[in-house]
Structure 1
Amino acid sequence: MYNIRSVAAHEYLQLTNVWEASVRATHDFLSEADIQFFRPLILNEYLKAVELSCIKDEREKILGFIGIAGKKVEMLFVDPAARGLGVGKALMLHAIQERGINAVDVNEQNTQAVGFYQHLGFKVTGRSEKDSMGKPFPLLFMEL
């Protein structure tokens, strides 16, 4: 059982580092230029636009985090070293049970994430050829 905590602004850099490590492990469709494009947006804009929760280890290292806006998960990233330990599932179940989320958009090319959400009961309800920034990374819209 993990303790899920809220995130303070001074932890944004650590979250961004988790984001980058996670993306490098799971988003093989992104180029180095794409990662460098998104990194400052994550740090300076996207994190403050959502309600953030995280799971930390006993040394206060963030193992994974989730960002929620309304009833939708906007971001879920887990440190590669913590993958397979139930961190992502714990964050999602917390969001579903405590916050009533029922939707998530996921990169179609991130097949592991698509399978993860399907395992939790999400179904594909739509698709976009491009991401929200107009980049050629197709999104699947999923709902419970």
Structure 2
Amino acid sequence: MEIKEVKQRKEIIEPLLEVWQKSVRSTHHFLNEKEIVMISQYVPSAFENIPHFIVGYDEQKPIAFMGIDGERIEMLFIDPICQGQGIEKN
């Protein structure tokens, strides 16, 4: 796995949105499908506006990401296939 900070995010928004959707469906059981679809409209903007954006790749494919603003982790999403495997420790 490769982990790197990404400055130019437009070219990977679609695969990141896919990771986000899979992760949310796997972990955010308090949201229904309609709410997930509604929120997903705003997620690309959040990707582009977070100051520090870290992406984990497996064979060039995004599998996880974290957004940091100052000293706060604002977003952390991991593809469900990789959850529980210690990816957050790398």
Normalised by the shorter chain, which TM-score bucket? Answer: 0.7 to 0.9
Q: Could you tell me the TM-score, scaled by structure 2's length?
A: 0.88
State the one-letter code of the partner of 2:26. Answer: A
Q: Identity across aligned pairs (percent)? A: 34
5+ residue gaps, structure 2, are none
Kept after mapping to 2: 8 A contact 1:77/1:88: no
Kept after mapping to 2: 8 A contact 1:18/1:79: yes
State the one-letter code of the partner of 1:65. Answer: F
Looking at CA atoms only, which structure, 1 or 2, has the larger radius of gyration? 1
5+ residue gaps, structure 1, are 91-144
The residue matched to 1:67 in structure 2 has which SS? strand
* Equivalent in the alignment of 1:6: 5
Q: Could you tell me the TM-score, scaled by structure 1's length?
A: 0.57
State the one-letter code of the partner of 1:19. Answer: W
* Equivalent in the alignment of 1:64: 64
Structure with more contact order per residue of length (Cα contacts < 8 Å, sep ≥ 6) = 2
State the one-letter code of the partner of 1:34. Answer: E
What is the CA RMSD across the aligned residues, in angstroms?
A: 1.2
State the one-letter code of the partner of 1:79. Answer: D
Whether 1:75 and 2:75 are equivalent positions in the alignment is: yes
- List, as ranges, runs of 4+ consecutive aligned residues in structure 1 with deviation greater than 2 Å: none
Q: What's the CA shift for 1:13?
A: 1.4
The residue matched to 2:41 in structure 1 has which SS? helix
Kept after mapping to 2: 8 A contact 1:54/1:64: yes
